[in-house]
Amino acid sequence: MRVPVRPNGLARIKQAFTQEIFTEQVVTSHAVKVPVTGNLNSNITGYLPVHCIHQLLKSRAFSKHKVPIKNWIYRQICNCTAPLHPVMPALVEVYVNSILVINNKGTNEYFNKPIAE
């Protein structure tokens, strides 16, 4: 069955999915439940869970919605093998930045927790 959709109708459908059904908070809550990629290395191609987590970390979504990501990051680091996947250094850098950001506004903002192991 084909249903014709006008361009403005498609924009409304996109808005409904991204702002009402799959909000950033819903996505971050589900992202931490996605299994890490086993034996992650640079030979594995395609869009992986680590790419999604990296993007959400870059946008500070985990901090904004107070979703703890530390355990997921730790499990993914432990599941890496050589040669290192190119997104891993960037993921670690963004994670460290999400821990070290200094709050100059004087408000109590949630920050990611450092890995203690």
Q: Provide the number of structural domains found in the chain.
A: 1
Q: From the CB of residue 19, how many other CB atoms can be counted at a distance below 10 Å?
A: 10
Q: Is 95 a member of any domain?
A: yes
Does a structural domain hold residue 17? no
Taking the model in full, what pTM does it have? Answer: 0.80
> Is 73 inside a domain boundary?
yes
- The residues that bridge with 60 in the sheet, in sequence order, are none
For residue range 39-77, what is the model confidence (pLDDT) as tens digits?
999 999 999 999 999 999 999 999 999 999 999 999 999
pLDDT tens sequence across 76-115: 999 999 999 999 999 999 999 998 865 555 555 677 888 8
| Residue 4 forms part of a structural domain | no
Its domain, for residue 66, covers 28-100
